[in-house]
Amino acid sequence: MSENEQVIRLKRDGKTETRIGIPVCTGPASYRLLVTWPDRNEGRIIEIPRDEIESISEVGARPRGRPPRIAPD
């Protein structure tokens, strides 16, 4: 399990959504994420069903409060 921030892209109700945070649990049925961006949701743990996840990418290091950017491969 990564301790770095990640960008999770998911399909929900026909729409693509993006969540950014630190993984807490990467179980087989669901993925739990400690949200770090956007600020209004910061600090909440959300549960994402695995079958809704389109992609997972690492986020590059950034100062607190700055928008995240996907780290290069």
For 16-31, the pLDDT digits (tens) are 999 999 999 999 999 9
pLDDT at 2: 63
* Closest C-alpha to 29, from 59, 1, 54, 49: 49
Whole-model pTM: value is 0.81
**Across residues 38-55, what is the average pLDDT?**
91
* Whether residue 71 has pLDDT greater than 80: no
Residue 73: its pLDDT value, please? 60
- Residue 33 has a pLDDT of 96
- Above 90 in pLDDT, residue 44? yes
With beta carbons less than 8 A apart as the criterion, state whether 12 and 26 touch.
no
